[in-house]
A and B are shown apart, each in its own frame.
Chain A
Amino acid sequence: MIARAHDPGAPARPEGVVLPLAFSGDDRALLVALRDHHPGAKAAFFHRHAAYVERVITRVIGFDRELSDIVQDVFLNALSSLPGLKDAGALRPWLAQVATRTARKVLRTRSRRRWLRLFVDQDDEKSAERVTNGTELATLRALAAVYSVLEELPADEHIAFALRFIEGMDIAEVAAACRVSLSTAKRRLQRAERGFIDKAQKRPELEEWLETGERWKSR
């Protein structure tokens, strides 16, 4: 469970594994427990917020083969940054900041390699169809194109765009996650939108997505 926590068919690990799980108490109690170095709290911290962190990371950088490492880094970074968290009630927004900061480092340092790219190669469509579990190839190509375009933007604009339009944050939340002022977030988003549209219009894979339900208009 568990996991799949309830997978009776899963093979046993090579040695006995002890993995603490949930902690009872709200986020304020959790923060106190984390600062007291209660081991159950650290595990519960992950258990409670991992899905959210993973979603933010995936929205920003796309599905990535190093996702598990990146998510782990977010939580380890968060543990080391705990003294900086003043408001225990804002644990999740603060965690979004840590995730955003970690994603920014990833975007800035890595080269252009994406799991999706391996499966949209023209010469390898059959294996793409096999491994995509039913996802249409066109959708996969479009998804790869979105993140390819985003990669061409500066990291700050890439992140602002992904948080705003893919994760669905409002501008204030984007500003908080990026730890910038509202006006800075707006400027980044404006530049990101212009840059994305300009590049995306040149990508035939995105033609259908860009025109879904709306028409491009001159203003």
Chain B
Amino acid sequence: MEKPVMPLESLGRRVAEALDEHALERRRALEGARQQYLAAAVRGPARSRRGMLGLATAVAAVLIGIGLFAHVRARPLVFTAGEQPGVVETWVAAPGGRGVPLRFSDGTRFRLEPSSRARVVAVDAHGASLALESGGLHADVVHSKQSAWRVIAGPLTVRVTGTRFDVRWRASAEEFSVTVTEGSVGISGAVVGEERAVRAGETLRVFVGEHRLELANTAELAAGERVKPGGAGPALATSVPEREAAPSLTSEPVKPDTTPTPLSATSPRAPDWREFARRGSLREAFAAAQATGFDAACQSASPSELLQLGDGARLSGNSASAKQALTRLRSAFPADSRRAAAAFALGKVAFDQTHAYAEAAEWFATSIREQPGGSLVREAAGRLIEARRRAGDDAGARRAAESYLARYPDGPHADLARSLLR
């Protein structure tokens, strides 16, 4: 019989590669396995754990009189998710028709709204960190001097200084909102930058993709008006700081940017693209710029305007024009601080619209390199992992995952990063 000269190793490699072509089906199967396994293996022991916890609590109560209560108080808070004992990094998915309560042992209550998803990523004696993956979360936090609570929603973080608020994150639209009913919270992250306070009676909305935010009096927002500058709270600038005092809030009715803003019947002329841009109506700005000559608009635009035109084009699905505006920003204004934001936006165009994942990875890496402390860096670092993985650069994806976990162990992409490093 003829004997091969080591062909089986190469055959084996081809088999492995062919199997890896079915990565999507395999991931689905793995997810199915996880659900079945957890249903079979976790719930039973969790009940016994709860029994043990009840016993420990009883023992702790008995020991109060001899001074061991302080020891118990230093232990991490415990919580329940729905009817089940909570576990750190518990993944909670609320059904379509009802919410899921998260109850902590200090009396703090969260309620995950219907069809929403969240994780408890860390718990200690003073509070917890929750990651809101999608949907809404109502919070009723027991505030003390030592309490430390955080909600991470996409690229933004809510630091809870007390006490009652609602937060929403729509990942598909990249829209964040927080409404504070009592006390205040501190918001930091994309578009917002350094931490800013949102107080009782205020609602902050952040439109990440449009680099725009709005702070409004909640009651007036509900009534369909924006707060006037100098009213209930400080007027926060949008991500268009070309004019430092540019008011983002006017007396015009608030309209979601997903619908075109109708031209005012009292305007003597149609607004040009700059006026739409100043209002934050980026799609309309792009459309107006196209109508009067997009090339000319790009030639005359400032860096912040180019960023707006690029985002407007991207949101309108016009990847070519988006690239045109954003690359013009980078080439014509090499020293401008918005270059990194333009790189991030170019990465999103490449990833989401043209599916050029290797190119997207380059842009996300560029964005991180040019502004390592910027507000978009966490999102860029997470998307870098995704882009490299999609581009087939497994080694690069793992390096990005390691770097991400070193900086953001609780970040939105932490699970993805860990899965690549197993």
Contact = CB atoms under 8 A, between A and B. Distances in A.
Nearest to B100: A16
A8 B45 contact: no
A52 B337 CA distance: 43
A18 B172 CA distance: 23
B16 interface: yes
Contact of B91 (A11, A17, A164, A213): A17
A2 B1 CA distance: 50
Given A19-B90, A51-B30, A6 B11 contact: no
A42 interface: yes
Given A6-B133, A214-B5, A20 B90 contact: yes
B99 to A, nearest CB: 8
A140 B18 CA distance: 8
Interface in A116-160: 132-135, 139-140, 142-143, 146
A127 B42 CA distance: 39
Interface in B1-41: 1-16, 18-19, 21-22, 24-27, 29-38, 40-41
A11 B46 CA distance: 26
Contacts of B205: none
B142 interface: no
A84 interface: no
A43 B38 contact: yes
Interface in A40-86: 40, 42-43, 46-52, 54, 58-59, 62-63, 67-69, 71-72, 75-76, 79
B419 A51 contact: yes
B34 A19 contact: yes
Contact of A75 (B29, B37, B93, B114): B37
B88 interface: yes
B189 interface: no
Nearest to A68: B32
A51 B31 CA distance: 10
B171 A8 contact: yes
A75 to B, nearest CB: 5
Point out which of A47, A194, A215 has the most chain B C-beta atoms below 10 A from its C-beta. A47
A48 B2 CA distance: 44
A21 interface: yes
B209 interface: no
B243 interface: no
B360 interface: no
On chain A, which size bracket covers the interface?
Answer: 35 or more
B145 interface: no
Contacts of B82: 16, 18
A210 B7 CA distance: 6
A21 B89 contact: yes
Interface in A163-183: 164-168
Most buried by A among B27, B46, B172: B46
Given A165-B8, A210-B7, A50 B415 contact: no
B324 interface: no
Given A22-B89, A54-B29, A72-B37, A165 B134 contact: no
Nearest to A217: B5
| For the complex of A and B, 8 pairs with smallest distance between CB atoms | A165-B12, A68-B32, A8-B171, A20-B87, A71-B33, A8-B134, A67-B29, A68-B33
Interface of A: 1-6, 8-9, 11-23, 37-40, 42-43, 46-52, 54, 58-59, 62-63, 67-69, 71-72, 75-76, 79, 132-135, 139-140, 142-143, 146, 164-168, 193-194, 196-198, 206, 209-219
Interface of B: 1-16, 18-19, 21-22, 24-27, 29-38, 40-42, 45-46, 48-49, 81-82, 84-96, 98, 100, 114-115, 117, 119, 133-134, 170-172, 412-413, 415-416, 418-419, 422
7 contacts: A5-B91, A50-B33, A59-B16, A72-B36, A135-B21, A166-B19, A217-B3
Given A4-B27, A168-B16, A194-B1, 11 more contacts: A3-B31, A6-B133, A15-B95, A19-B34, A39-B46, A40-B88, A50-B422, A76-B37, A165-B11, A210-B4, A212-B11
